Amino acid sequence: MRKVVLFFVGLFASGLLLAQAVKRMEPLNWWEGMNLSRVEIMLYGDDIAKYDVNVEGLTVMQQLRTENPNYIFVTVETRNMPAGIYPIQLRNKKRVVQTLNFELKERRPGSARRPSFNTSDVVYLLMPDRFANGNPENDSHPAVTEKANRSYPGGRHGGDIEGIIQHLDYIKELGATAIWSTPLLEDNDATYSYHTYGQSDLYKIDPRFGTNEDYLRLVEEAHKRGIKIIKDVVPNHWGEEHWMMHDLPTYDWLHQFPGYGQTNYRSSTQIDPNRSEIDLKYCEDGWFVKSMPDLNQRNPLVQNYLIQNTIWWVEYANLDGLRVDTYPYNDKNKIAEWTKAITDEYPNFNIVGEIWMHDQAQISYWQKDSPIGAIQSFNSHLPSVMDFTFHDAVGVAFGETHDGWDAGMYRFYENLVNDFLYADPQNLLIFLENHDTDRFNHKYPDLKDYKLAMTIMATHRGIPQLYYGSEIGMAGDKSKGDAFIREDFPGGWPGDEQNAFTQDGRTEKQEAYHAFTKKVLNWRKGSKAVHDGRTIQFLPHQNIYVYFRLLEDEKVMVVVNNSKEERELDLNRFDEVLRTISGGTDVISGENISFSTGKWNIAPKSSYIIQLDLVK
């Protein structure tokens, strides 16, 4: 017995049986050959600041301690170092207290130059909790607070990563080529955690959605089908239950007022040359809501943490793009620095920012190389922005069936007029709706209006984004609450009465929506004129909007009659494009259209996508 006691005394003396000092290490690994080679490793544990840190094989550039003794930030240089394990040792003088393995992994060939989503894509936006439940076993989980309750509109319903994987073929056959999922990282809020914008762990998939490995499998299975994956990231804030919120590294890790201060939501103060400083402060630093603390990117530790975390996910999961939530609520110079760090790592990478503003000049300000931003010597480095003025036009245009000076189809015309404000109008995300707005089919319950809108979105400049369920006529009234624009996709849950994922399971009305969407989006895949061609638009007349997409010898004519009356179209007006063209084929109906008479009767509330005959 005495020998056993002496043995354990010896182990304690060597540090091998001491309680694990480090509870968290982030990131757990990095990759060889990265542009961002100087990595800041965060170590967290009780009173660990008293220890010294050594990293075998890597140069330690800095060991930073803060006012909280539970953190050490260790910066190591990985440039020109091979893949392998590099042990991190915590030492109390000469005694090793704990050893952690930091790994440099081999990088995928061509990772830095990976392609991204672009104008050839159609983005399918889904909310994983409301899309499909592929694994009912993970609907609730002991590691997180909120449990599944499908009967509660604002509760967790059980959709997950497995559900998305099981319906990738549905998305592909519909004609979408990229998936933007709302965030999948852990959100441990006690209620309303299903949307996952209040994240509690930036390195962990929410266990009710699956595991990190499940996310890797989603990306891999999507890529097999030619579908790209766009991750939704939130550098502005995280949730009140984020693990650091219980023990902040520094007081100024968050914007403190002290404590909570509400944002004024006025992102125009970032641009306004006549603003007051107090209004700017509450825009940039105010908390989005009380349960979402605002992160202080002016603190270099916060900024490095967010940059490294984003790059880690791109590399780890082999991602194809990013969507950035509430982009202009960040400190504008720091979010530009964050964006540039990512695009420096991945020069071809597309990132789209949520710029929820209602003026083209103000939206343009936030796009990379903007001529508007240049007025204030500002460059966001953000390749793409969301075209909310297109969405604004959608919100009213199809209800304006009269022929007005600035009504109906003129709203789309005028939106394109302002393309001169953008550095790259082709790289705008256009959409009829998203997870924060009224559903289109609520505002316009007539299938005819949906067909008009889908015709425009599928053929306009930019990258179209479709919100899940629109393609089967799903409707939702935001005034009743967000849950009503985020309802479950019928057939996504075992035991659902109908399965709208299959043609046999769809109602006649649902199939009509689906068939139109599928036809238009699958045609769009092969139209280089729509992807990359220039646009010529003509002034709407009698609420008929005509425009062309032109690229080399491919010419597409789009005709949208928003009037409730049949209209006669005088084709001579479009002679600069049609001069040598005798007709074409309507993609929607399959009919051959002849221009020989110079006139064409357009049915009320109808649209045409005409693949024009080549000039012989």
433 belongs to a structural domain: yes
Report yes or no on 341 lying in a domain: yes
Q: Which two tokens stand for residue 327?
A: 């982009």
CA 250 from centre of chain: 30
Residue 524 included in any domain: yes
C-alpha dist (Å) from residue 32 to 108, 111, 118, 191, 337:
10, 11, 28, 41, 23
Stretch 593-614: mean pLDDT, rounded?
95
Query: pLDDT of 526-571, one tens digit each?
Result: 999 999 999 999 999 999 999 999 999 999 999 999 999 999 999 9
Predicted local distance difference test score (pLDDT) of residue 20? 83
Q: Is the pLDDT of residue 315 over 70?
A: yes
| pLDDT (tens digit per residue) in 335-369 | 999 999 999 999 999 999 999 999 999 999 999 99
SS (H, E, C) 140-202: CCCCCCCCECCCCCCCECCCCHHHHHHCHHHHHHHCCCEEEECCCEECCCCCCHHHCCCCCEE
> Residue 294 domain-assigned?
no
485 shares a domain with 440: yes
Both 356 and 427 in one domain: the answer is yes
Q: How far apart are CA 537 and CA 261, in angstroms?
A: 47
pLDDT, position 488: 98
The span from the CA of 64 to the CA of 74, in Å, is 6
Is there a single domain that holds both residue 220 and residue 364?
A: yes
- pLDDT of 383 > 50? The answer is yes
User: Could you give the number of structural domains in the chain?
Assistant: 3
Same domain, 394 and 508: yes
- pTM for this structure? 0.96
- CATH number, residue 498: 3.20.20.80
Give the end of a domain, one of 66, 90, 107.
107
Is 496 a member of any domain? Answer: yes
| Cα 257 to chain centroid, rounded | 30
* Residue 483 in this model has a pLDDT that exceeds 50: yes
Nearest to 483 by CA among 60, 58, 152: 152
Both 542 and 607 in a single domain? Answer: yes
* Residues 103 and 168 both lie in one domain: no
Q: Give the residues across from 483 on adjacent strands.
A: none
Q: Do residue 98 and residue 156 come from a single domain?
A: no
Q: Are 379 and 505 in contact (CB under 8 A)?
A: no
Does some domain include residue 81? Answer: yes
Residues 358 and 451 in one domain: yes
Q: Which residues of 316-339 are buried (b: 16+ CB within 10 A; e: fewer)?
A: bbbbbbbbbbbbbbbbbebbbebb
Q: Evaluate whether residue 264 is within a structural domain.
A: no
* Alpha carbons 268 and 247: distance in angstroms, whole number: 34
Over residues 489-514, mean pLDDT: 98
Q: What is the mean pLDDT of residues 74-86?
A: 98
- Beta strands 544-551; 554-561: pairing state: antiparallel
Q: Can you give the residue range of the structural domain that contains 142?
A: 114-230+300-528
**Is-catalytic flag, 354?**
yes
* Residue range 256-312, pLDDT digits in tens: 999 999 999 999 999 999 999 999 999 999 999 999 999 999 999 999 999 999 999
Quickly state the pLDDT bin for 11 (edges 50, 70, 90).
very low
> Could you give phi then psi for residue 554, rounded to 5 degrees?
-105, 125
Distance CA 126, CA 135 (A): 17
CATH code for position 84: 2.60.40.10
User: For 151-190, how does the pLDDT look when each residue is reduced to its tens digit (9 = 90+)?
Assistant: 999 999 999 999 999 999 999 999 999 999 999 999 999 9
Where would I find the beta strands (DSSP E) of 443-506?
Answer: 463-467
- Tell me which of 354, 387, 471, 488 is the catalytic residue: 354
Domain match, 557 and 499 both: no
Active-site residue identified among 325, 369, 414, 419: 325
Residue-wise pLDDT for 579-603, tens only, equals 999 999 999 999 999 999 999 999 9
In-domain check, residue 247: no
**pLDDT at 16 exceeding the cut of 60:** no
Residue that terminates a domain, selected from 504, 528, 552: 528
Boundary (domain end) residue, out of 528, 563, 581: 528
In terms of domains, do 523 and 535 share one?
Answer: no
Q: Where are the alpha helices (DSSP H) in 225-295?
A: 277-284
- What pLDDT is recorded for position 616? 57
Verify that 79 and 120 share a domain, yes or no.
Answer: no
How does the average pLDDT of the chain come out, rounded? 95
Residues 410 and 431 in one domain: yes
Q: What's the confidence (pLDDT) of residue 4?
A: 40
Which CATH number do you get for residue 568? Answer: 2.60.40.1180
